Structure 1
Amino acid sequence: MTLPVALSGTDVIGQAKTGTGKTLGFGLPLLERVTVPADVEAGRAKPEDLTDAPHALVVVPTRELCTQVTNDLLTAGKVRNVRVLAIYGGRAYEPQVEALKKGVDVVVGTPGRLLDLAGQKKLDLKHIRSLVLDEADEMLDLGFLPDVEKIINLLPARRQTMLFSATMPGAVIGLARRYMSQPTHIRATAPDDEGATVANTSQHVYRAHNMDKPEMVARILQAEGRGLAMIFCRTKRTAADLADQLKQRGFASGAVHGDLGQGAREQALRAFRNGKVDVLVCTDVAARGIDVEGVTHVVNYQTPEDEKTYLHRIGRTGRAGAKGIAITLVDWDDIPRWQLINKALELSFNDPPETYSTSPHFYEEMNIPAGTKGVLPRSERTRAGLDAEELEDLGEPGGRGARGGRGGRSERWLLYTSYPADHERPREDRVGRVSCESS
């Protein structure tokens, strides 16, 4: 539905359920409108149309989504040799600046780093013909709106603007009114799939006790036919703790949350995609747009903040026509919050049944073999694990790479002042560099 409208150069607001292919909905028109040497050779463009500055800009809310969209566009643009570059924080500036100097056609980036490089005159936005705001509602939730507006103000007035999101709150519509000209609003739904959630995903909700949850999760992970699994937590600390507990129980688990350095976050996602790890414990940073083939189970270990977060979390399974299972474990304290989500999405789980790791109905509904305990038997521990995936040194600014990473190395800069004995005035300021090895 989007392709013919976007290819004609019209502004587009695209709205569809998560997991239905929005990336190529905006990606293909972008790649089609970029001028590459092949166009000049074929006589479709003049040599003066070629520039080293980017022609298209995609703004995304999270680093994980940034790398994924970049990879999708690189795959789609391979035949025409389109140069696509990911620009996001947590990585060293130098390689990104070098790549921009060599020339690039499409830039995919997070708002902070894009503004940084544009402010330093390293990123030239004067030739942008197409702008895409992907997961626009999430950018507003994360407080990126002022940054996004600053970026838009740096772009040429004559351009195509496309805005894509699974949900469209009022603030997103306001953004569209201010910065788009006569946009076409395309809302794609299947006629037989009226609900807010994808019909292919079967949902289960249990009232569970906080101290029994790790045991319940360990048993869910031994259900028959389970492929890859993603477990969502509300806090970074819970995600880190649960990933460690599952590791001790014999599962190949990794974690993705904001307290990890970018290198460790990317390592965990790569290991998950490559099948070295089959359980990914994450915060909502991984709930948006992350597309990994073979995710059969999504577990909401803690109740999500709101119905939008719920939709995006469970949207990691049941993607592109596959079937999936979504399980939500609701704490006693979280029942009111869950009931609001249940009402907003018109689900049928207003009063979840009280469930424990030993409950017969839990075993039956989750398809868990009888006699399964909360520790993975040694004979089934076949995955290589997180340590088998290489930890890349990204030259992370601020040296956060060592946090949570294995054998990472980080740098801290200290400014210290030495005072003379009489304490009247400082004698000198010194800047010292220290290196810390993390075990």
Structure 2
Amino acid sequence: MGQAKTGTGKTLGFGLPLLERVTVAADVEAGRAKPEQLTTAPQALVVVPTRELCQQVTNDLLTAGKVRDVRVLAIYGGRAYEPQVEALNKGVDVIVGTPGRLLDLAGQRKLDLGHVKALVLDEADEMLDLGFLPDVERIVTMLPAKRQTMLFSATMPGAVIGLARRYMTQPTHIRATSPDDEGATVANIAQHVFRAHSMDKPELVSRILQAEGRGLAMIFCRTKRTAADIAEQLQRRGFASGAVHGDLGQGAREQALRAFRNGKVDVLVCTDVAARGIDVEGVTHVINYQTPEDEKTYLHRIGRTGRAGRTGIAITLVDWDDIPRWQLINKALELTFNDPVETYSTSPHLYEELRIPEGTKGTLPRADRTRAGLAAEELEDLGETGGRGARGGRADARRGRG
């Protein structure tokens, strides 16, 4: 069970050993393996909670596995079945997938899990949460009894450790921490918490987005409706923004994330579907437009910045009626923001603390509108399957996730 703070490299922590351990054609050529050890069935399985994280882990493993020519395949819902089945038929070494689509393909006998030597549950606390647990258990029963099982997450509550013991024999809990970095949050993220009025928040956020040194920004909302509304409002105010939430088709979700990675949009408004594992270089600001559900969600949200040793800024806007919820988070993480200061879009301390130039208004000046925008990023036709394909993310839907 591997535990480390967000942004410290867990993906390659499990990814590199997996890529080394699968038997590929290069091993036979070098005399390290016999030809009969080669198989077209997957030898390693990484299970992740969201489609966005599935894509990202796959891309990281493809990059790292290039030298050995390891075949890595992403399997998740919202996409057509046929290309995934075709890739499985050709042969795959490592599979990264969401529970729903993995079960669908295994149930149709298109996916053979009988040769898996290593199982990884990434974001394990989420994977073992009630919504995913039945799916994860069904997947585990399809795997060989003799295998290595690894769980990775930034947060590992006691209940999860108890559940993990059902899948593991004599598990070892490894926590990777820096001796000079105490506390649950990463030290190089500057945190700001303000008590804000919901009517003033769009104006407030528009001014924060014009702070000095602001690179890419992620804005987190609790509901899909709020995320869609804020993305639209920011576009009207001149910002190049995109949205990622559960009411969008998979093609639109991927279009927004690609545009964000490519710099065509510099503001991504999202629900917590994008709070875990998403790693985009250059994210300087994370704004919690609505208070997170709990301290775990807070940690994962703000962990989208300050990654891999860089610095970042996290801003949380707390509504009056969310103060009790925030105080629970503050206490759990031993932060110093128990009574957030009342803040408006005109408050001098906001400008001072976040380095917002004096005289900044709630609309981006035309001279600063240099990004190409979401429309400049191609919307890919994924052959979205509606009825059957939508089941690929059914665990997400069951828990009402974005």
TM value normalised by structure 2: 0.96
- Of 170, 183, 187 in structure 2, the residue corresponding to residue 182 of structure 1 is 170
Larger Rg: 1
1:333 aligned to which of 298, 317, 321: 321
3-state SS in 2 of match to 1:32:
helix
> How do 1:146-161 residues align onto structure 2 when only pairs under 5 Å count?
146-161=134-149
Q: Does 1:279 align with 2:267?
A: yes
Letter in structure 1 aligned against 2:369: R
* 1:171 matched to 2:159: yes
Aligned counterpart, 1:229? 217
Q: How many residues align?
A: 389
The C-alpha deviation readout for 1:268-292, integer Å capped at 9, x for no partner, is 0000000000000000000000000
Q: Deviations over 1:343-390 (max 9, x none)?
A: 000000000010000000000001000000000000000000000000
Question: Mapping of 1:13-412 within 5 angstroms?
Answer: 13-141=1-129, 143-398=131-386
Checking the alignment, whether the CA contact within 8 Å between 1:260 and 1:400 is kept in structure 2 is no
CA deviations 1:374-415 (Å, max 9, x no partner) are 0000000000000000000001111799xxxxxxxxxxxxxx
The separation in 2 between residues aligned to 1:125 and 1:87, in whole angstroms, is 13
Aligned to 1:57, the other structure's residue is in SS state strand
* Shift in Å, 1:174: 2.2
Equivalents in 2 of 1:168, 1:381: separation in Å? 42
Distance in 2 between the 1:391 and 1:228 partners? 21
Q: Aligned residues: percent identity?
A: 88
Q: 1:366 to 1:18 in 2, by over 3 A?
A: same
Partner SS state of residue 211, structure 1: coil
Alignment partner, residue 399 of structure 2 = none
Q: Confirm or deny: 8 A CA contact 2:3 2:153 kept in the other structure.
A: yes
Given that 1:256 and 1:269 are in contact with CA atoms closer than 8 Å, whether structure 2 keeps it comes out as yes
CA contact (8 A) 2:128 2:136 kept: no
> Aligned partners of 2:163 and 2:119: how far apart in 1?
13
Q: Which amino acid aligns with 1:388?
A: A
Gaps of 5+ in 2: 390-402
Q: Match of 1:170, as an amino acid?
A: G
How big is the alpha-carbon RMSD for the aligned residues of Structure 1 and Structure 2?
A: 1.1
- Asked if 2 retains the 8 angstrom alpha-carbon contact of 1:254 and 1:279, the reply is yes
Q: Helix, strand or coil: the match of 1:164? A: strand
C-alpha distance in structure 1 between counterparts of 2:333 and 2:349, whole Å: 25
CA distance in 1 between counterparts of 2:92 and 2:226 reads: 40
Deviations 1:100-155 (A, max 9, x none): 00000000000000001001000000000010000011123461011001100100
Distance 1:313 1:400, change over 3 A: farther
- Given that 2:272 and 2:301 are in contact with CA atoms closer than 8 Å, whether structure 1 keeps it comes out as yes
Letter of the structure 2 residue corresponding to residue 15 of structure 1: Q
Compared CA separation, residues 399 and 280, structure 1 to 2 (3 A):
farther
Code of the residue aligned with 1:144 in structure 2: it is F
Q: Letter of the aligned partner of 1:383 in structure 2?
A: R
Q: 1:82 to 1:166 in 2, by over 3 A?
A: same
Residue by residue over 1:314-344, the C-alpha shift from the partner in whole angstroms, topping out at 9 and shown as x without a partner, is: 0000000000000000000000000000000
Q: Report the Cα distance in structure 1 between the residues aligned to 2:60 and 2:175, rounded to whole angstroms.
A: 22
With 162-171 and 83-92 compared, the bigger mean Cα shift is at 162-171
Q: Are the equivalent residues in 2 in contact too, given 1:140–1:171 (CA < 8 A)?
A: no
SS of 1:181's partner is coil
**What SS does the corresponding residue of 2:96 show, helix, strand or coil?**
strand
SS at match of 1:100: helix
Amino acid corresponding to residue 232 of structure 2 in structure 1: D
Which fold has the larger relative contact order, with Cα–Cα distance below 8 Å and residues 6 or more apart in sequence? 2
Provide the secondary structure at the position in 1 that maps to 2:46. strand
Instruction: Tell me if the contact between 2:128 and 2:163 (Cα under 8 Å) persists in the aligned partners.
Output: no
Code of the aligned partner of 1:248: R
Q: Is the 8 A contact 1:261 1:400 kept in 2?
A: no
Please state whether the residue corresponding to 2:277 is helix, strand or coil.
coil
Partner SS, residue 168 of structure 1: coil
CA distance in 2: counterparts of 1:281 and 1:74, whole angstroms: 28
The 2-side partners of 1:224 and 1:102 are apart by 51
- TM-score normalised according to structure 1 size: 0.88
Relative to structure 1, the CA distance from residue 320 to residue 272 in structure 2 (aligned partners, 3 Å threshold; closer, same or farther) is same
Amino acid at match of 1:287: A
Distance 2:197 2:9 in 1: 37
SS in 2 for 1:131: strand
Q: Distance in 2 between matches of 1:279 and 1:54?
A: 37
CA distance in 1, matches of 2:353, 2:282: 21
Matched-pair contact (CA < 8 Å) for 1:65–1:290: yes
Q: Is the 8 A contact 1:229 1:295 kept in 2?
A: yes
Deviation at 1:171, TM superposition (A): 3.1
Return the alpha-carbon distance in structure 2 between the equivalents of residues 183 and 15 of structure 1: 13
